[in-house]
Amino acid sequence: MVHFYRNVWTAVPTGKVKEVAAMLKAIHAQEDAKVAKEKALLVVEKLRAMRLTKAAEIVENGNDETLSYYAMPPEHWRCIKTNNPLERLNREIRRRTRVVGAFPDGQLALMLVAARLRHVCD
């Protein structure tokens, strides 16, 4: 969602970013996918009324991807709709590979990363 928001903000003047951010957050604060899609259509209409057609197109084209977490059970939504767990995993892999420094070949780097991923999955 964060990357989706940032993509939309690139097409919005600086003075209207807070207003558009509130509209986008309202889409993802809905209780189910149907209501969220309806809210997204209203946001697209409002963006077009504000003459932000590029931002409206980005919301219209990318909204279904950002609402895919509604297919999962509600208790998992918070973890799925953000990319924090993925970023944390990438940071941990980066930390482990920096300790080694230079790997003799790519296979050893892959083995280290795979071992760390197995540990995280357990």
Domain ranges of the chain: 2-81, 84-121
- Residue for token pair 């279904």: 64
* Separation CA 57–CA 34 (nearest Å): 20
pLDDT tens, N- to C-terminus, the chain (122 residues): 888 899 999 999 999 999 999 999 999 889 889 999 999 999 999 999 999 999 999 999 998 888 888 888 888 887 777 767 778 888 888 888 888 888 888 898 888 889 888 988 87
* Separation CA 5–CA 17 (nearest Å): 10
Per-residue confidence (pLDDT) for residue 21, from 0 to 100: 94
Per-residue confidence (pLDDT) for residue 79, from 0 to 100: 74
The pTM is what?
0.67
Q: Taking a C-beta distance cutoff of 8 angstroms, is the pair 67, 36 a contact? A: yes
* Separation CA 24–CA 40 (nearest Å): 8
